[in-house]
Every structure is written in structure tokens, then in C-alpha cells.
Amino acid sequence: MNRGAVVLIAVVAACGTERDRSVTGAWAAGGLSFDVAGYSDWSAPVNLGSVVNTPFVDSDPFISKDGLSLYFVAGQGRGGSGLRDIWVSQRASTDDPWGPPRNLGPTVNSAGQENSPTLSLDGHRLYFASNRTGAGGFGGFDLYVSRRRDKRDDFGWGAPVNLGSGVNTTADETDPAFFEDEATGTTILYFVSNRLGSDDIYASALQPDGTFGPVTPVAELNTPFNDAQPAIRRDGLEIFLSSDRPGTQGASDLWVATRASTADPWSAPMSLGSVVNSPPRPPGVEQSNDFRPALSFDGTALYFASALRPGNVSGMFDLWVTTRSKLKGPD
């Protein structure tokens, strides 16, 4: 058994016993502690504004390692190749505002729908989901990867390649996320599939031949409800997700789980609470959604999409960001 398989077994070995708690304020309650993480509480979210957001669908953000490229998905009203395309907004420094978004073009985007763009840590691979026809698809949404030589060229992506039957099925596979353990060389792909009915989070280890190994559900993160869109901190000790499990304020909320080491199972997820998640809407109307969290490389900014949130530029989906500070340790 290779190291990747050992780590994967440890990742999914145990499940939490309490799945529907939500908290605000004291994160140490219920065994979920930010003391190890060393971060402050999340701030009130800020809308990314009318340069990035439009009256159309803007969702599924992902922030590059250097913080200078924001990948996301926009709806057909914005133009492009299909129903939903991948776009990118750039900025010269992390202190500058985001520039006008540009479509990645027909090499990456199809006549169908693309979603959940995700960059590898080295910046040379773009993973995403698509329901495009042909291209070796298995039906529904599949996971694809596109490669580039220059990690600074946001428009240099090559033709996408389907990740194959080790990951993809005739059901929907979406929302790729990665934990790349630089100490061991192990890479774990987290993704979402509805192969058993509702959306669940799965994991697979990258093999030496470049394929992904056996797929296993991450039991401690999943419920009978929809659990999706994982985003893992680069040290592998904190994971964010969206879920409509009991305890949400709207249709779906953002949740977080932690673990003491990468060999431990995840804690039971806990809601990010009312500071971050949208307030409930009146009974009888469509409820708000908070989804597709994307964590910055330094762990201090969390981008996400929100539908029907007060302050949205659009009538539906906008991109938002919440921030936190890294606390100083004892002298």
C-alpha cells in the first residue's frame, strides 16, 4: 500500500457523532477549536462590487496562490461560449481592486456548463467540472483538468482532459479541491458526487502514474442532506464546505471542520454563523444560499458565492469575501 492510500484511509476512517450543530462566537465549543489555527473570527462579508459582479449569475470563486487571479463562473447573460463559463479577474497586487473579468475562451469553456474552477498549488493545472458533450465524458457533470506551461498566464490553458472512470461516473462529479502535503508528497483530491443520491464529499489519492486511486466518502463530513464544495486550508487542518443540513439559516450555509493532524478524522462541521451566512428570508419565499467557499493561500480571506443576499448587485448570485487575521503567538 502506498503512502497516498495510507493517508487517504486515515482521512476517511472515522465519522463525527454530532452533525447539525451551529455556533457563533466561541469556536472552542463542541470540540471545534481555532486555538490551533491561530486566527481571529471572520469579519462581516463584503460584496466584490459591480466590476466583478453583474446582474447575471456570478458564482464558484477560486483565488490563486499569489492572490492576484480570481477565477469564477458567470452565466450566459455575460457572454462567452455556453450556459456558464469560467472567467478570471486580475489585479496587480493584493492591495489593488479587481479588474474587469475576462472569459477563458473556447479552449476551456464549452457550449454546456462549466463550474467550480480550482488551481493546483503549483499553478500549472486547472481542475473544473463540466457537462460538455463528447470529450470522453461519462454523463452528467465530470471532472476535467487543463494544463499550462506559464503559471502566470491565465489564458494559456490547453485542451481539457477528462479525469477518467476512477473518479467520474454516470452521476454528477463536481467541486474539486486539493490537499497537497509537501512534507510527504501526497496529494488528496476532494470532490463532490451525487452517485448515492444527495451530494456527498469524497476523497481520492493521486497515484504515481498521475491517475487518482480508489474513491472513498469522507464520512464525518457527510449527512443525508447535501454536503458539497469543500475548500481545505493548505496545512490540511481546516476544511470549509456548503451544506443544507439542519442548522442552516437559509437554503444552504457555509460550515467548517478541523482536525488536530492530517492523520485524524475531521471534527463534526459547525456553521460559520450569522456573521458570515445570509439571514433567513421570510417564510414562503426562496431562501438565500451561501456556497462554494474558496480560501486564500494564507488562510485569511474566504471568498464565496451568495444568492438572494441583502446587498447583492444581482437579483440572485454574487461573489463576496470575508476576512480574518492571523493571531500572533506568545512571545
CA 168 to chain centre: 18
Which cell is 156 given?
A: 494559456
119-168 pLDDT, tens digit per residue, is: 999 999 999 999 998 766 788 999 999 999 999 999 999 999 999 999 99
Express each pLDDT in 63-78 by its tens digit. Answer: 999 999 999 999 878 8
* 79-131 pLDDT tens trace: 888 889 999 999 999 999 999 999 999 999 999 999 999 999 999 999 999 99
CA distance 19 to 200: 14
Domains and CATH numbers, the chain: 3-77+176-323 (2.115.10)
Extended strands (E) in 182-288: 186-193, 200-205, 216-217, 227-232, 238-243, 253-258, 270-271
Q: What is the length of the chain?
A: 331
pTM of the model: 0.88
Partners of 306 in the β-ladder: 290, 318
Please check whether residue 202 is in contact with residue 11, taking contact to mean a CB–CB distance below 8 angstroms: no
Lowest-confidence pick of 28-42, 52-66, 189-203, 311-325: 28-42
Assess contact for 23 and 32: CB atoms under 8 A. Answer: yes
Percentage above 90 pLDDT, the chain: 77
**Which pLDDT score is estimated for 32?**
47
pLDDT band at 291 (very low <50, low <70, confident <90, very high): very high
Q: How confident is the model at residue 3 (pLDDT cuts 50, 70, 90)?
A: very low
